[in-house]
Amino acid sequence: MRVLHFDCFSGISGDMTLGALVSLGVPAEVIQQGLAQLQLPVRVEFETVKRCGFAAILARVSAEEQSTHRHLHHIQAILQQSRLPGEARDLAWRIFERLAAAEAAVHGLPVEQVHFHEVGALDSIADIVGVAVALCWLRPERYSARPVPTGYGQVRGAHGWMPIPAPGTLELLKGVPLAPSRVEAELTTPTGAAILTSLVQEWTPTPALVVERIGYGAGSRDFPDQPNVLRLIFGSTTAASGLVEETVAVLQTQLDDVSPQVLGYCQEQLFAAGALDVVLQPAYMKKNRPGTLITVLAQPSDVARLEAILFRETPTLGIRHYTCVRHKLPRQEAEVQTPWGIVRGKIIYVPGEPPRFAPEYEDCAGIARQTGLPLHTVRDMALQCFRPAPSSMQTDS
C-alpha cells in the first residue's frame, strides 16, 4: 500500500504542501497545467531555498486580483466551470467544504452564508487546487501525519488580532492530536489544517513503512532555531505476513421502522459518498420486531460524511462507530484475452501460493449477453486464459 506521511514538525500550510509535493517528485508542470484549467489569472513558480541550512522547495503563487471575499458557492462555481479532472475537482471541493464548516461553526452562521477572507483569495484557491492535482498524480492509497504543532502568539487576520491557533484552524483540528510549539508564529494555517483533516486517517509520529521518497516544502519565513519546512515521506507498507494492513472505520445502526426502498436508496448514497462496503442484514429486535442491521465499512476520514447520510436518510437515533485493523491480500488490476473479447479483473496474491485471477463480473456478463453463452462458461474461460508472469509468483519470505 502506498502511504503519504505528513511529517509536519514545523506546521503546515498550503504553499508548504505544494512545495513538498514537487520536492517529492510531482512534476511542477502537472500542477501548473492543473491551475491553468481554472481559467483564472493565477500561476505558481517553484524555487529551491534554504531554511536553517536545509534545502526545500518554495512555492510562489501569484495572482492578478485585488482583495476579494468569496462565499462557498463562488468557490463551487469556479471549480464547476473549470476543466479540472473530476477526481482533483472533488478533492479540492472536499477541502473547501471542511474550511466552510469550520468557519460556520466559529461564526455561528449557516455554511452558505460563510464568506472566506484569506482562504477565498486566488492564491489560496491555487494552493488547494494545486495540492489536489498533485495528489491525484501521486495517488497515495493512505495518509498519515504526526501530531500537529500550531505555533503560539497572535496573528492579524480579517477580524483583527487573533490568538494562535486561529479559531478556524483550531475548529478544523478538533479531535486531532496537537504537539507543543517552540516558535512564536503561526505554524499551521487554516488551509494546512483543512488539507490534513480532509486526508489523514492515522496520527502517528513514525509510520511503519519502507521509505521511497522524501520531499521538503519551505514556508515563507526562515526561523533562526527551527527549519520552517514541511517534510513529506512517501513509501509502502505491508504486514509481516505479506498481507496489506490498514485501519478502517465501522459504522453500525439497527432499524425496525424503515422501508426497503429507503434502505436501498441509503445504500446507494453511502457508496456514492465513498463507503468501502455497505451490508444490510436481517435482525430481530426488541418486541420480536424484524429489522435491519446496517454495517458500513469506511476510511476513518469519511466517517463524518457517512454518518450524516445515515442520519439524513434513515430514522436512526444513534450510530455505533469504532475502528479496526483490516488485512487484505495484495492485488493489482489486470485483463485477459478470451476468444470472445477482453475480460478485466484482479490478480490476487496469496502468500506462498501462485497468483490467482478474479474476473470482473460486468465484463463476463456483457460477453454472456452478447454471445448467449452461460455466465459460468465465460468466467471459466477467463480463468483458463490467465497466465501469471513468472516474476509475479510469490513465496514465503
- Give strand pairing partners of 210: 236
- In sequence order, the 6+-apart residues with CB closer than 8 A to the CB of 347 are 331, 332, 334, 355, 356, 357, 386, 388, 392
The answer regarding whether domain 331-392 maps to CATH 3.10.20 reads yes
**Residues of the chain with pLDDT > 90: what percent?**
65
**DSSP per-residue string spanning 32-89:** HHHHHTT-SSEEEEEEEEEETTEEEEEEEEEE------EEHHHHHHHHHHS---HHHH
The pTM for the full model equals 0.63
> 42-51 and 54-63 as β-strands: parallel, antiparallel, unpaired?
antiparallel
pLDDT at residue 66 in the model:
56
pLDDT surpasses 70 at 6: yes
41 burial level (CB within 10 Å; 0-12, 13-18, 19+): exposed
Highest mean pLDDT among 98-107, 295-304, 379-388: 379-388
pLDDT-derived band at 214, boundaries 50, 70, 90: very high
pLDDT tens for residues 216-261? 999 999 998 899 999 999 998 765 567 777 778 899 999 999 999 9
Average pLDDT of 161-171?
Answer: 91
* CA 216/CA 24 separation, integer angstroms: 7
Greater pLDDT, 155 or 212:
212
pLDDT at residue 394 in the model:
45
Query: DSSP label at 302?
Result: G
Number of Cβ within 10 Å of residue 3's Cβ equals 23
Give the lowest-confidence range in 60-64, 165-169, 367-371.
60-64
H-assigned helices in 274-391: 303-313, 361-371, 375-385
* Phi–psi pair at 190, nearest 5 degrees: -55, -40
pLDDT surpasses 70 at 132: yes
Reference 279, options 254, 300, 299, 303; nearest CA is 254
Greater pLDDT, 72 or 16:
16
- In sequence order, the 6+-apart residues with CB closer than 8 A to the CB of 187 are 10, 11, 12, 149, 150, 151, 181
Angle between helices 190-199 and 86-107 (to 10 degrees): 120
* CA 206/CA 7 separation, integer angstroms: 9
Judge whether 83 and 37 are in contact, CB under 8 Å: yes
pLDDT, the chain, mean: 89
pLDDT surpasses 50 at 395: no
pLDDT surpasses 60 at 2: yes
pLDDT at residue 175 in the model:
87
Number of Cβ within 10 Å of residue 199's Cβ equals 21
> 331-338 and 341-348 as β-strands: parallel, antiparallel, unpaired?
antiparallel
pLDDT tens for residues 273-292? 999 999 999 999 998 899 99
Residue with grid cell 536553517, as numbered in its chain: 52
Residue spans per domain, the chain: 2-236, 244-327, 331-392
Question: What CATH class is the domain 244-327?
Answer: alpha beta
Max CA pair span of the chain? 74
329-352: b (≥16 Cβ within 10 Å) or e:
ebeeebbbebebeebebbbbbeee
Average pLDDT of 64-84?
Answer: 82
Element (H, E) at 292: strand 289-298
pLDDT surpasses 90 at 189: yes
Judge whether 17 and 127 are in contact, CB under 8 Å: yes
* Phi–psi pair at 296, nearest 5 degrees: -115, 130
pLDDT tens for residues 307-349? 999 999 999 999 999 888 888 888 888 999 999 999 999 999 8
pLDDT tens for residues 114-129? 767 555 478 889 999 9
First to last CA, the chain: 18
User: Can the peptide bond before residue 165 be classed as cis, meaning omega within 30 degrees of 0?
Assistant: yes
